[in-house]
Amino acid sequence: MMADAVNIELEGFDKMSFLFKNYEKEATRVVKSSLRKGANEVKKAQAASLPPEIKSLKSVLRVISVKKELLVLAGVFARGKQYVNSRGVKWSPWNLIYWLNYGTYAGRYSGHAFITARKARTASRQGGIQGTAFLDKATERAMPAAADKFEKDAEVKLDALLKKLTS
């Protein structure tokens, strides 16, 4: 589940190019910090959109910053956690959220481009979990607020960094 890319324009291109040419490490750290703040807005929206039956799984929603890249991800990352149902079967929370988000069998969400089609063995099966794309919709709704938060925070922090480094 990947959201569409958001193009962000920063005013003061000369200042930005000066910072990234001369102080790349410091400027990258500031931009990543601002990206994390924007990604937290997306994470909050995703947590609020979880269906009532899996509200307890909101702890698997995380914001992850990719090392050595100017990339921050918000979504379902559940390493090491497991959900145990009433029969004692252990499931990854990622699977449960994925199934509810995109559906299973005949209930697959039609708005999502699945990489693989249904296998011949299950193609005739009816029923299944009805996909609602709640995470995709929450991410779409939160993106403008996240971009706005990033722009404001980055502008303030980069201006402060520029003043600190040039004085």
Confidence (pLDDT) at 138: 92
Write the CB contacts of 153 (distance below 8 Å, at least 6 apart in sequence): 33, 34, 37, 38
Model-wide pTM > 0.85: no
Report the alpha-carbon distance of residue 17 to residue 22 in Å, rounded: 8
Question: In the prediction, which pLDDT does 44 show?
Answer: 93
pLDDT at 11: 60
AA identity, residue 79? R
Query: What tens-digit pLDDT sequence spans the chain (167 residues)?
Result: 555 666 656 566 666 677 666 777 787 888 888 999 999 999 999 999 988 888 888 888 888 888 888 888 888 886 667 778 789 888 888 888 888 888 887 777 777 777 887 788 888 888 888 788 888 899 999 999 999 998 888 888 888 887 887 77
pLDDT at position 80 is 65
pLDDT at 10: 55
CA 158 – CA 89 distance, rounded (Å)? 50
Are 51 and 90 contacting, i.e. CB atoms less than 8 angstroms apart?
Answer: no
Q: How far apart are the first and last CA of the chain?
A: 45
Token pair for 127: 């029923």
The whole-number pLDDT of residue 48 equals: 92
| HSE toward the beta carbon, residue 143, CA cutoff 13 A | 14
Q: Name the H helices within the chain.
A: 13-22, 24-49, 93-102, 134-166
